[in-house]
Amino acid sequence: MKISLSGSISKESRGGTAGKRSFTPDEVNELNRRFEGRGAEGMLEWAFDNLHPRVALASSFQAQGMVLIDMLMSISPDARIFTLDTGRLNQETYDVMDEVRKRYGTRIEVLFPEKAEVEEMVLERGVNLFYKGKENRILCCEIRKVRPLKRYLTDLDGWITSIRRDQLETRADARKFEIDYGNGGVLKINPLVDWTSRMVWDYIKERKVPYNKLHDMGYPSIGCAPCTRAVKPGEDERAGRWWWENDSDKECGLHFNHNGE
Ligand code: SF4
């Protein structure tokens, strides 16, 4: 992968938009049939063999993401990993990001929001706008996460996520392969949909995979620093995300699939 003098990753290295491959619903159904009952590694191998370099793993370096990084790096250190840096992450998240670079000898594509959009948002609504109503919180997630992701995915044929069905009601119907209509119809690959939190932690402990130290401080789910708190024993895994929104669906918009399914 080439880095230009200005430090940005070239469009050619990302694969560009030419020859973009799309998948039909029938092809996706066939992939789901083929990988039914098969492990996450097999799905990652298929993704790398068939889509690299036009496929990348999205990671926010939470526990389940670390499992996929470990698996993917054992397939190839050339496999692509990207993350969304909202500008409001915890230092512990940057620390584990660096550990990943060191341990696997890989590079991480860090996506930032559009400077002008952030500047206008905080000028109009303040730096801590997310605490002042759900509309503001959704806007902040939209500008800092959803739009950078959408821009990035225009160059890809597929993206890999670490969502699990048992995390949220909105994820309960997630399939191993899906068409991501909310992001231009790109293939969405979810190798851990049928995993549980216990399986994730068993894998991490067995393989001594690095993980975000906030998990040891009562954070089962980790997002941006001002929007995540530790949970109390017995609380839901995502109770610490946007905790002031009691009626919230606890999503930031990255995993909404606007296809009506
Ligand atoms: Fe903004 Fe909070 Fe969403 Fe991060 S999680 S993008 S700080 S609203």
Return the HEC string of the chain: CCECCCCCECHHHHCCCCCCCCCCHHHHHHHHHHHCCCCHHHHHHHHHHHHCCCEEEECCCCHHHHHHHHHHHHHCCCCEEEEECCCCCCHHHHHHHHHHHHHHCCCCEEECCCHHHHHHHHHHHCCCHHHCCHHHHHHHHHHHHHHHHHHHHCCCCEEECCCCHHHCHHHCCCCCEEEEHHHCCEEEECCCCCCCHHHHHHHHHHHCCCCCHHHHHCCCCCCCHHHECCCCCCCCCCCCECCCCCCCCCCCCCCCCCCCC
pLDDT classification of 9: cutoffs 50, 70, 90: very low
Kindly tell me if the per-residue pLDDT of 256 is higher than 80: no
To the nearest whole number, what is the mean pLDDT of the chain? 89
Least trusted range by pLDDT, from 8-17, 81-90, 215-224, 241-250: 8-17
Per-residue confidence (pLDDT) for residue 8, from 0 to 100 = 41
* Atom in ligand 1 nearest the alpha carbon of residue 143: 6
**Whole-model pTM?**
0.89
Helix axes 25-35, 40-51, angle to 10 degrees: 140
Least trusted range by pLDDT, from 138-152, 222-236, 246-260: 246-260
Per-residue confidence (pLDDT) for residue 158, from 0 to 100 = 98
Rounded mean pLDDT, 120-148: 96
Which protein residues touch ligand 1 with a CB less than 6 Å away?
86, 88, 130, 137, 140-141, 144-145, 223-224, 226-227, 252
* Atom in ligand 1 nearest the alpha carbon of residue 241: 5
Find the 96 Cα to ligand 1 centroid distance in Å. 20
Q: For the domain 21-227, what is the CATH superfamily, name and number?
A: HUPs (3.40.50.620)
* Atom in ligand 1 nearest the alpha carbon of residue 136: 8
Rounded mean pLDDT, 216-240: 91
The residue to mutate among 111, 121, 131, 227, having the most atoms of ligand 1 within 8 angstroms of its beta carbon, is 227
- How confident is the model over 183-222, as pLDDT tens digits? 999 999 999 999 999 999 999 999 999 999 999 999 999 9
- How confident is the model over 64-93, as pLDDT tens digits? 999 999 999 999 999 999 999 999 999 999
Name the residue with higher pLDDT: 238 or 203.
203
Q: Is 252 a catalytic residue?
A: yes
Burial class (CB in 10 A: 0-12, 13-18, 19+), 18: exposed
Q: What is the residue extent of each domain of the chain? A: 21-227
Q: Which residue's CA is the closest to the ligand 1 atom numbered 3?
A: 141
Per-residue confidence (pLDDT) for residue 250, from 0 to 100 = 67
Q: How far apart are CA 202 and CA 92, in angstroms?
A: 21
Per-residue confidence (pLDDT) for residue 20, from 0 to 100 = 81
